[in-house]
C-alpha cells in the first residue's frame, strides 16, 4: 500500500469519530434554538387554553344562574336542559384546564433543560406529554391540537438528534410512565380547581329550603 493510500485510509478511519464530535458541536446551537422555539409555541398554546378556560367559566356561570332560576320557577324541563348543557361545558373545561396545566409543566421542564442541558434524560417524557395532550385536545380545540402536533414532531426530532449525537438511542415508549405521571398530576390539580371554579348545581331540596326562608 502506497503512502498516499495509507494516509487516505487513516483519514477514513478517523473521520467517523471526528464527524460525530463535529456534528455534536454543530447540533448544540440548533437544538437550543429548536427547544426555545418549542417553549415559545407552547406558551402561545397555553395562553389560548387559558383564554378558553375563562370563556367556559363565564358561559358556565351564565347557564348556572339560568338553571337555578328555572329550578326556582319549578320549570323542570328548562332546568334539565340547562343542567345538561352545563355538564357538557364542564367536560370541555376539564380537558382544557388539564391540558393547560400539563403544558405548564412541559414548559417548566424545557426551561430546565435549557438551563442545565440534560436533554437526553428529560426530553423523552416531555415529547410524550405533548403527544398525549394533542390527542386529548384535538376534539375540543382542533387548532390547538394541530399546533401541538407540530410541536410534538419537533420535540421527537430533538430526541432523535440527541440519540444520534450521543450514540444512545432513546425509546419513546419508555417515557410513557413518566409522561402519564405528569398528565395524572395535571389531572389532580384540574379536578381541585374545577371544584373551586364550578359550583355544584343546587338540588330541588335545596331550592325548596331556600324558598321557605324567603319573606313573602
The residues spanned by each domain of the chain are: 33-212
pTM listed for this prediction:
0.74
Q: What are the C-alpha distances in Å from 99 to residues 34, 87, 88, 170?
A: 22, 19, 17, 25
> Hey, what's the cell of 196?
373551586
User: With contact defined as beta carbons under 8 Å apart, do 155 and 113 qualify?
Assistant: no
Output the tens digit of pLDDT for each of the chain's 216 residues: 555 544 443 444 444 433 443 355 454 557 788 889 999 999 999 999 999 999 999 999 999 999 999 999 999 999 999 999 999 999 999 999 999 999 999 999 999 888 876 666 677 788 889 999 999 999 999 999 999 999 999 988 888 877 666 655 555 555 677 788 888 899 999 999 998 889 887 665 444 444 444 444
Torsion of CA 80, 56, 97, 84, to 10 degrees: 10
| pLDDT tens figures, 42-77 | 999 999 999 999 999 999 999 999 999 999 999 999
What are the residue ranges of helices labelled H in 117-141? 119-137
CATH number given to 33-212:
1.20.1260
Amino acid at each position: 500500500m502506497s503512502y498516499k493510500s495509507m494516509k487516505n485510509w487513516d483519514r477514513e478511519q478517523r473521520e467517523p469519530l471526528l464527524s460525530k464530535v463535529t456534528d455534536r458541536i454543530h447540533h448544540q446551537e440548533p437544538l437550543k434554538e429548536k427547544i426555545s422555539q418549542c417553549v415559545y409555541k407552547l406558551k402561545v398554546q397555553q395562553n389560548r387554553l387559558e383564554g378558553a378556560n375563562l370563556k367556559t367559566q363565564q358561559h358556565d356561570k351564565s347557564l348556572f344562574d339560568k338553571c337555578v332560576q328555572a329550578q326556582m320557577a319549578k320549570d323542570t324541563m328548562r332546568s334539565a336542559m340547562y343542567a345538561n348543557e352545563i355538564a357538557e361545558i364542564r367536560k370541555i373545561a376539564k380537558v382544557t384546564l388539564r391540558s393547560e396545566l400539563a403544558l405548564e409543566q412541559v414548559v417548566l421542564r424545557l426551561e430546565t433543560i435549557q438551563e442545565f442541558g440534560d436533554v437526553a434524560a428529560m426530553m423523552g417524557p416531555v415529547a410524550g406529554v405533548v403527544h398525549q395532550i394533542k390527542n386529548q385536545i384535538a376534539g375540543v380545540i382542533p387548532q390547538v391540537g394541530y399546533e401541538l402536533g407540530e410541536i410534538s414532531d419537533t420535540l421527537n426530532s430533538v430526541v432523535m438528534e440527541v440519540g444520534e449525537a450521543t450514540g444512545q438511542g432513546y425509546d419513546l415508549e419508555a417515557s410513557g410512565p413518566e409522561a402519564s405521571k405528569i398528565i395524572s398530576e395535571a389531572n389532580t390539580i384540574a379536578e381541585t380547581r374545577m371544584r373551586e371554579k364550578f359550583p355544584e348545581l343546587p338540588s330541588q331540596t335545596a331550592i325548596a329550603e331556600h324558598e321557605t326562608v324567603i319573606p313573602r
